[in-house]
Amino acid sequence: MHFDGSKMRLGLGAGIVLSSPKGDPLKYALQIHFTASNNVAEYEALVHGLRLAKELGIWRILCYGDSDLVVQQCSGEWDARDPNMASYRFLVQKLSGFFAGCEFLHVPRAENEASDTLAKIASSRQSIPSGVSLEHLHKPSVKPSPDSESIYVPDDPAAPQPGPGTTQPGPGAAAVDPAAAVLKPGAAEPVSGAAAPEPAMHGGRLCRGDGAIVGPAHLRVSGERGPPHGRDRRPCGHHAASRSLVAKAFRHGFYWTTALEDAESLVLKCEGCQRFSKRIHQPALALRTIAITWPFAVWGLDMAGPFRTARGGMTHLLVAVDKFTKWIEARPIKKLDGPTAVRFVKDIAIRYGMPNSIITDSGTNFAKGAHAQYCSVSGIRLDLASVAHPQSNSQVERANGLMA
């Protein structure tokens, strides 16, 4: 299967080409009718291609795409930091479990020309050629995360769709300045004691009764209504102290005169805060001391980049620092995977001897896969720097600064 996504001014599209072992192609074009990033279009193409292959009864499949991000994330080599990308990767892994064999491979765009052409036809809304099946997608395959701006689905399908990462209307719609819309020119101030119109959601925006957009800085919470309890009582609430809770509410644009008193009362009534406040929150195990007693026994390993593409397609640097002598080893790389890290460590072992331990971060190309397996087989202790205490690998981080 070859898949590709495309984003143009008129919209998004995806192209899928399923080829049998004999070379017989099945071509599909997907028109996406919501606003999203190009990576979302790539993922939608891959998801729909896997679903088509599953419906056709295919047991083994090779997925070729020219998006390095999608291929590396689905292969488990890269982390998905965007919440929507993480949801798409989880869906792809779930679909790939239905096959006896499923592999994701990256190819240059020149070798993915058929699906790229279909994606451009779908995104530009051109007439579909004969022999190509057309599908329309009005909703994303995953639930959009409110913490990400890579997908925008309007509440009203007829409303203009803004571009990703913006709240501006789409092409052909009049631009609206939220600051100017809070009070229309010539509009009178609300009379004291008069009932102000209640805000309501219109087209995915919070507006007043007169249609003006309400921003976070204009929200006020009266003492009669009380504080926003959901900030502390939701399942993922951080159960902060009263002052921290009030400060966070103020940073989000809320304000009321009795905020601190209400927050103190809320914390006292919160079951989770009272249940866990007396417990010890220190780690159960003591920190391990890394003994550095002889040269070339303990190395710090990290990756720097991306840099401007150099000759040979090199974009990153693998950097290793001996903790005893402060000797720095560096190598330019173009693939951010485990086998590349293994070759780098093998070269160090050949020249300086087998390391006793390697300190690195929790990157997937170091902490999992081929590199972790090689360290286990070779008797190298792999120490992962804690996210809460990155200073344990600060020496190689400073070497990264020298290399950059």
pLDDT digits (tens, 9 = 90+) for 45-93: 999 999 988 888 888 899 999 988 898 888 888 888 888 888 898 898 8
Q: Rounded mean pLDDT of the chain? A: 76
CA of residue 13 relative to chain centroid, distance = 21
Percent of the chain with pLDDT over 70: 70
Question: pLDDT per residue over 158-189, tens digit each?
Answer: 444 444 433 344 444 444 343 333 333 344 44
Please state which CATH class domain 2-137 belongs to. Answer: alpha beta
Can you give the residue ranges of every domain in the chain?
A: 2-137, 217-276, 298-403
DSSP class per residue in 148-184: --SEE--SSTTSPPPPTT--S--TTSPP--HHHHSS-
Cα separation, 178 vs 235, whole angstroms: 33
Residue 63, both tokens:
């997925």
Please state which CATH class domain 298-403 belongs to. Answer: alpha beta
Give the model's pLDDT for residue 291. 67
Contacts of 118 (CB under 8 A, 6+ apart): 4, 13, 14, 15, 16, 17, 27, 28, 29, 132
Question: pLDDT per residue over 189-247, tens digit each?
Answer: 444 444 444 545 555 444 544 444 444 434 444 334 444 444 444 444 556 778 888 88
Give the model's pLDDT for residue 2. 92
Give the model's pLDDT for residue 346. 93
Long-range Cβ contacts of 337-343 (<8 Å, 24+ apart): 337/72, 337/77, 337/365, 337/369, 337/370, 338/77, 338/364, 338/365, 338/366, 338/368, 338/369, 338/370, 338/371, 338/372, 339/370, 340/365, 341/301, 341/365, 341/366, 341/370, 341/371, 342/370, 342/371, 342/374
Question: pLDDT per residue over 280-294, tens digit each?
Answer: 666 655 666 666 778
Q: Whole-model pTM?
A: 0.40
Question: pLDDT per residue over 256-311, tens digit each?
Answer: 888 888 888 888 887 777 777 676 666 655 666 666 778 888 898 888 878 888 88
CB 170 within 8 A of CB 162: yes
Decide whether 2-137 matches 298-403 in CATH topology: yes
